[in-house]
């Protein structure tokens, strides 16, 4: 099953997504002579877990009001635009909205194109389209290149033979971050970190969302390291199973990390624990400290946890919020923060921003140069960096589009693929790693 299909199913179920291609025109649209013309924007929103309603709320019309549900449907499915708000203004606000949510520039370029459907008549004869989508859902559409599994090679260490062939003393990706100067920061990562730091240090709320291995934990560590010596207190719950996180455990984490009494006895009742946690937050504020609660693996949380988090975020000293809250997790975290799916947590969700990690697509060469420079090895001495067989194109062909619906050129996956390619090249007698070796893994 493709990544796109998995994300669509997570967002609202296949029956919801089928409606993208089987909608019947309303009486009003029939009067306008509208034809079913689904825009690619609709699919992009689904791929990134962005509710259509959220997009509509980001589009402020000339009247000062956001797009309502009817206007959203007319634009996305029928290419019918509001009369009193210029289309170019709606498009500009849309691009801004998508940029803020980590949508790639290549995808943004296509959003106003019509979604191509093999059976053009499917808008009014949905059975053929439904059968096609059912095949995709069940994985039977094996001819589709994008539905093939990635089949990444298992993680392996750099072999001794590869070290000898390429003149490298150590694996460039093992214990490679020993200080702040060892962290590669692309423009996209700097943007994520800037948001993370600002919200944490200014009692805001934000969710940092990214694929496994994209560098979320590294940026969390960067934040902790960069604030050493400052009057900042970080609260880091040590719950091994994020699914088991409860409001009581959150209170305990706050109490343990803010209290200076190692032998402090915790109250038994939830009410007493919550009161103690709030008192400690107020006490640290009076001592001039800023505080932030950092929660990893947040995609496993239950909606009830979000409700409790909001109560902590609402602790104030006058008009000033006292506790920053940062959720860090994989893409399902965006689903958790979908108010249509979790209406009980709507007050938290509407106040929590989301920042998405982007893959290394346009920064791949700089990333690898940075990593190999840390071990004093020029990239061109190990890889073919120019011509048709350059390693960068090989990585993009293997881990990016068009093979996959979404690029998987994230740090950990790139590292594992590079090491496997170096080992394979050394084993086969090559003195440099080219794109074809990567493609053949």
Asked if residue 422 belongs to a domain, the reply is yes
Asked if residue 152 belongs to a domain, the reply is no
CA dihedral 362, 365, 371, 375 (to 10 degrees): -170
Q: What is the pLDDT of residues 13-58, one digit of tens each?
A: 333 333 333 344 445 444 444 556 778 898 888 777 788 888 988 9
pLDDT greater at residue 197 or residue 144 = 197
280 Cβ partners below 8 Å, 6+ apart? 254, 255, 258, 259
333 Cβ partners below 8 Å, 6+ apart? 207, 209, 298, 299, 327
Same domain, 238 and 365: no
Q: 385 pLDDT exceeds 90? A: yes
Average pLDDT over all residues of the chain: 81
> Does pTM top 0.85 for this prediction?
no
CA 354/CA 375 separation, integer angstroms: 35
CA 179/CA 196 separation, integer angstroms: 19
Q: What pLDDT score was predicted for residue 246?
A: 84
Asked if residue 153 belongs to a domain, the reply is no
Same domain, 141 and 211: no
Q: Which CATH number goes with the domain that contains 347?
A: 3.40.50.300
Same domain, 200 and 295: yes
Same domain, 141 and 265: no
Q: Which of 356, 375, 405 is the last residue of a domain?
A: 356
Q: Which of 147, 169, 198 is the last residue of a domain?
A: 147
Q: 124 pLDDT exceeds 70? A: no
Which residues span the domain enclosing 44?
Answer: 3-147
pLDDT band at 143 (very low <50, low <70, confident <90, very high): very low
Same domain, 98 and 198: no
Q: 144 pLDDT exceeds 50? A: no
Same domain, 372 and 410: yes
Q: 5 pLDDT exceeds 50? A: no
Q: What pLDDT score was predicted for residue 147?
A: 37
Asked if residue 182 belongs to a domain, the reply is no
Q: How far is CA 241 from CA 237, 256, 297, 331, in A?
A: 11, 18, 9, 18
Closest CA to 54 of 63, 62, 200, 44: 44
Same domain, 89 and 125: yes
Asked if residue 51 belongs to a domain, the reply is yes
pLDDT greater at residue 316 or residue 6 = 316
pLDDT band at 404 (very low <50, low <70, confident <90, very high): low
Asked if residue 377 belongs to a domain, the reply is yes
Place of tokens 């967002």: 11
Same domain, 193 and 330: yes
Same domain, 198 and 329: yes
CA 159/CA 171 separation, integer angstroms: 9
Going by the DSSP 8-state scheme, the letter that residue 156 receives in this structure is -
Q: Are 417 and 394 in contact (CB under 8 A)?
A: no
Q: 3 pLDDT exceeds 60? A: no
Same domain, 170 and 192: no
Q: Which of 356, 372, 400 is the last residue of a domain?
A: 356
Q: 169 pLDDT exceeds 80? A: yes
Same domain, 130 and 171: no
Residue 402 preceded by cis peptide, ω within 30:
yes
Q: What is the pLDDT of residues 48-69, one digit of tens each?
A: 778 888 898 899 998 888 998 8
Q: What is the mean pLDDT of residues 101-109?
A: 84
Place of tokens 């959720």: 327
pLDDT greater at residue 262 or residue 113 = 113
pLDDT band at 411 (very low <50, low <70, confident <90, very high): very high
Closest CA to 438 of 415, 413, 426, 420: 420
Q: What is the mean pLDDT of residues 288-300?
A: 94
Q: What pLDDT score was predicted for residue 71?
A: 86
pLDDT band at 153 (very low <50, low <70, confident <90, very high): low
Asked if residue 30 belongs to a domain, the reply is yes
Q: Which of 65-79, 223-237, 270-284, 337-351 has the lowest mean pLDDT?
A: 65-79
Q: What pLDDT score was predicted for residue 22?
A: 38
Q: Are 2 and 406 in contact (CB under 8 A)?
A: no
Q: What is the mean pLDDT of residues 180-203?
A: 93
User: In a 3-state reduction of DSSP, which class is residue 9?
Assistant: helix
Same domain, 195 and 165: no
**How many other C-beta atoms lie within 10 A of the C-beta of residue 83?**
7
- Overall number of domains in the chain: 3
Asked if residue 372 belongs to a domain, the reply is yes
């Amino acid at each position: 099953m493709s990544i796109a299909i998995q994300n669509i199913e997570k967002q609202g179920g296949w029956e919801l997504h089928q409606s993208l291609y089987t909608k019947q025109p309303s009486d009003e649209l029939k009067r306008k002579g509208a034809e079913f013309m689904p825009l690619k924007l609709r699919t992009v929103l689904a791929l990134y877990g962005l509710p259509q309603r959220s997009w509509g709320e980001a589009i402020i019309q000339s009247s000062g009001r956001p797009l309502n549900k009817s206007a959203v449907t007319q634009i996305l499915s029928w290419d019918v635009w509001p009369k009193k708000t210029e289309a170019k203004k709606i498009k500009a606000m849309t691009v801004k909205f998508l940029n803020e949510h980590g949508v790639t520039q290549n995808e943004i370029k296509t959003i106003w194109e019509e979604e191509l459907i093999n059976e053009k008549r499917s808008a009014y004869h949905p059975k053929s389209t439904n059968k096609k989508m059912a095949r995709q859902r069940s994985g039977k559409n094996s001819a589709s290149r994008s539905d093939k599994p990635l089949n990444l090679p298992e993680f392996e260490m750099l072999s001794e033979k590869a070290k000898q062939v390429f003149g490298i003393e150590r694996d460039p990706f093992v214990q490679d971050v020993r200080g702040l100067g060892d962290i590669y920061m692309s423009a996209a990562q700097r943007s994520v970190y800037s948001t993370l730091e600002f919200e944490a240090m200014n009692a805001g709320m934000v969710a940092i969302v990214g694929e496994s291995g994209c560098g979320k934990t590294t940026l969390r560590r960067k934040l902790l390291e960069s604030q050493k010596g400052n009057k900042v207190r970080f609260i880091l719950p040590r719950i091994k199973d994020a699914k088991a996180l409860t409001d009581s455990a959150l209170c305990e984490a706050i109490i343990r990390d803010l209290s200076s009494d190692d032998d402090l006895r915790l109250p038994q009742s939830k009410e007493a624990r919550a009161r103690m946690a709030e008192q400690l937050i107020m006490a640290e504020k009076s001592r001039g400290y800023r505080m932030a609660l950092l929660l990893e693996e947040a995609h496993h949380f239950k909606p009830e946890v979000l409700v409790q988090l909001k109560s902590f975020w609402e602790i104030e000293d006058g008009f000033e919020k006292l506790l920053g809250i940062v959720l860090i997790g994989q893409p399902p975290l965006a689903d958790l923060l979908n108010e249509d799916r979790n209406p009980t947590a709507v007050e938290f969700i509407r106040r929590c921003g989301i920042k998405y990690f982007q893959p290394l697509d346009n920064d791949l060469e700089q990333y690898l140069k940075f990593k190999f420079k840390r071990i004093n090895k020029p990239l061109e001495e190990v890889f073919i960096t120019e011509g048709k067989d350059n390693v960068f194109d090989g990585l993009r062909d293997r881990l990016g589009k068009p093979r996959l619906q979404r690029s998987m050129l994230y740090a950990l996956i790139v590292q594992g693929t590079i090491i496997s390619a170096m080992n394979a090249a050394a084993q086969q007698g090559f003195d440099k790693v080219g794109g074809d070796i990567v493609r053949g893994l």
